[in-house]
Chain A
Amino acid sequence: MGGKLGLRLTGWVLGTLTLVFLAYQWLPIFTLALLSFSGPTGGTTFPMNGTSFHWYEELWRASVMNDFKPPLLRSTLLAIACSATTIVLSVMAAQAMRGRFRGNGWFFYLMLLGLMAPGILVGFGFAIMMRLLGVELSWDTTTFLVQVSWTLPFGFLTMLAVFNRFDARIEEAALTLGASRLTAFRRITLPLVLPGVIGAGLFGFSLSYDEYARSMFTTGPELTLPLAVMAQLDRQLTPEIYAVGTATTFFSLIAITLFTVAFWAMRRSTAVRRS
């Protein structure tokens, strides 16, 4: 009886801690979101001066100093490209690691280097190297490359973990039933690791979408969203910037939701039906 009570108490304590932690994580964003709805004369701190969609209208008209729409579009395209690239490369790299090959230990650590190296140095070094090679810096070439070096290790680790729990004999069964390696991958392996693949894609998207340090030196004149936001913060702080933050968070949430729905749909199709 006492044990049961203790268990219940532990449950409550841990549940409360979890809620407090989530609030801690989300309240700052909520504060910004709230302030972004202040009236036309509103400042960047509490108390709010009225409520309106004024700053969102401003944002859409892009009147103040910068047009956030192109950076938003660039960042979104960049995040999608990084996500897709991360998916393809991380699945391939993790598959290669399953087979073991000469120097696979080195390969593993080199892949993870992108995770350890400080972003600002990577971006700076990469920019210098590109200059040396005479490559023009641009968000859709140099920034893309440098961001993939950041997102790829996350996808790689995700896929390694997924394949680590994967029963290779299921693939072998397909091979002995007449499936070629490609068919076995497409029909058996991929559907079973798809939740992990979506996870890798999600890492690729969200890490690229708000990456600042690596983009700073490698982007050239056409800025990505985080760079544009920083530029705006440097010059003039209005609730418009909060509106930008809220809008982008909202955007990320939509992306995450889409991935989650896809994930859930996959899980359902591969789900175990318990009798």
Chain B
Amino acid sequence: MTVDALAASPPAKAGTAQGPARAQLDLELRNIRKRYGSFTAVDDVSLKVGKGQFVCLLGPSGCGKTTTLRCIAGLEEPDDGGILIGGKEVTQDPPWKRDIAMMFQDFALFPHMTVARQVGFGLEMLQRPKVEIAQRVQQILTSFEIAALADRKPASLSGGQRQRVALARAMITEPRILLLDEPIGALDYSLRETVMLELKLLQQRTGISFIWVTHDQNEAFSLGDLVVVMNHARIEQQGAPEDILLRPATAFVAGFVQGNNVFRGRMGEVLADAFCIETGTGTFLAPRALGAPPVPPGTEVSFSVRAEQITDQLSDRHVNRLTATCTAVEYFGSVRRHILERSDGEVLKYDQFGAHAARIVPGQRVTLGWAIESTVLHGRAGA
């Protein structure tokens, strides 16, 4: 897919009357809340999306990410809170008055319209002249390499073709924000990686903000400039992919992100540069930043250690130690993952890189360790 046609079109929309500061943000959610009866689907969600940002809403199914997206689209009205698009308050506006487009999970193509007709639908709604519509449809179909499908109807298209038609239909009006609800979830696995790359390039070239909903962390971490992890209707953590991978803020985020070992325990002694945390498998040390407030002993806390930060080749640095029994060894590309059982029955994951021979075999009992700075204490305590 080439993206020249779109990139060549006039990009940035002028700032609004509310001043340049506001205009820097494509989207702002202010404490939005949405309930269905007694069920809270979105709870106190706030989010700021800068100009042309790629944002991924990540979370398990039912966490409220799709409802949040639908609130942005105007398909749901939040019970509380405000939504600003391009600095303009749109909370009460219907979808057709918002500067957005949306790509649905199964693409939601119009079954009775030819590809050309439905791609031109958005421009038709803007009451553009027929000649201009035809021209721009031709242009975008060509740039998405689906010009040959112009007269076909959706039922005769493959999954990949439908995805392109849906994307062309959404992008032709050059909205400020494109909302994507699991946009590649319906594609064959083999197609996904290619399409992800194409979409990332397209987003960068057009400068349209993408809000991408997914439950797949690989998508979120490889695409997002900003990753927003949601659970139980709330935002658990938002930040750059690296932040979330290396510094999970909650036990949920740590557990949701692949490769973390989560421990729960109680705060013990507070040292000058470390916290002691007492768990069922021993006492572990977590770093305490200079001047970080002490945490009252006995407070319930959780922390995590990444599987690749653990080692079986212990040195003085590896002050956190525990003994576990290996139950399985798995291979993911160049990673060898050991699944071990801790003495409290929980699972411990330990990753080794490189092609050297396996040192640990199933059934073996080993002592593993990690350095203080590899312990990530969750919550405000670690900040």
**A residues at B contact (CB < 8 Å):** 167, 169-170, 172-181, 183, 187-188, 191-192, 269-275
Known: A270-B111, A273-B155, A275-B156. A176 touches B126 (CB 8 A): no
Contact of A172 among B100, B104, B153, B170 (CB under 8 A): B104
**Contact between B75 and A272, CB atoms less than 8 A apart:** no
Answer whether residue B227 sits at the interface, using C-beta atoms and an 8 A cutoff: no
**Contact between B73 and A177, CB atoms less than 8 A apart:** no
The residues of A that contact B95 with a CB separation of less than 8 Å are: 172, 175-176
Answer whether residue B108 sits at the interface, using C-beta atoms and an 8 A cutoff: yes
Nearest chain B residue, comparing its CB with the CB of A191? B112
The residues of B that contact A177 with a CB separation of less than 8 Å are: 96, 101, 121-122, 125, 169-170, 173
The residues of B that contact A178 with a CB separation of less than 8 Å are: 96, 122, 125-126, 173
Known: A176-B95, A176-B102. A269 touches B121 (CB 8 A): no
Give the shortest distance, in Å, between B97 (CB) and chain A (any CB): 9
A170 to B155, CA, bound (A): 14
**Contact between B73 and A176, CB atoms less than 8 A apart:** yes
Nearest chain B residue, comparing its CB with the CB of A181? B94
Nearest chain A residue, comparing its CB with the CB of B121? A177
**Contact between B104 and A169, CB atoms less than 8 A apart:** yes
Near A by CB (< 8 A), chain B positions 30-66 give none
Nearest chain A residue, comparing its CB with the CB of B152? A273
The residues of B that contact A269 with a CB separation of less than 8 Å are: 112
Give the shortest distance, in Å, between B76 (CB) and chain A (any CB): 10
A152 to B102, CA, bound (A): 37
Beyond the given pairs A173-B109, A175-B95, A275-B152, 9 more chain A to chain B contacts, judged by CB atoms under 8 angstroms and listed by A's residue number, are: A167-B108, A170-B109, A172-B102, A173-B169, A175-B96, A176-B179, A177-B121, A192-B111, A274-B155
Interface CB pairs A-B, < 8 A, 13: A172-B104, A172-B108, A174-B121, A175-B96, A176-B74, A176-B95, A177-B122, A179-B121, A180-B96, A270-B111, A273-B155, A273-B156, A275-B156
**Max count, chain B CB within 10 A of own CB: residue among A167, A178, A183, A274:** A178
The residues of B that contact A170 with a CB separation of less than 8 Å are: 108-111
The residues of B that contact A187 with a CB separation of less than 8 Å are: 121
**Max count, chain A CB within 10 A of own CB: residue among B95, B111, B121:** B95
The residues of B that contact A183 with a CB separation of less than 8 Å are: 125
Near A by CB (< 8 A), chain B positions 109-137 give 109-112, 121-122, 125-126
Answer whether residue B80 sits at the interface, using C-beta atoms and an 8 A cutoff: no
The residues of A that contact B100 with a CB separation of less than 8 Å are: 176
The residues of B that contact A173 with a CB separation of less than 8 Å are: 102, 104, 108-110, 169
The residues of B that contact A188 with a CB separation of less than 8 Å are: 110
A271 to B155, CA, bound (A): 9
Answer whether residue B373 sits at the interface, using C-beta atoms and an 8 A cutoff: no
Near A by CB (< 8 A), chain B positions 160-174 give 169-170, 173
Give the shortest distance, in Å, between A209 (CB) and chain B (any CB): 31
A270 to B109, CA, bound (A): 13
**Contact between B96 and A179, CB atoms less than 8 A apart:** yes
Answer whether residue B106 sits at the interface, using C-beta atoms and an 8 A cutoff: yes
Give the shortest distance, in Å, between B112 (CB) and chain A (any CB): 4
* Complex interface bits, B135-159 against A, C-beta within 8 A gives 1, otherwise 0: 0000000000000000011011000
A173 to B94, CA, bound (A): 13
Near A by CB (< 8 A), chain B positions 311-326 give none
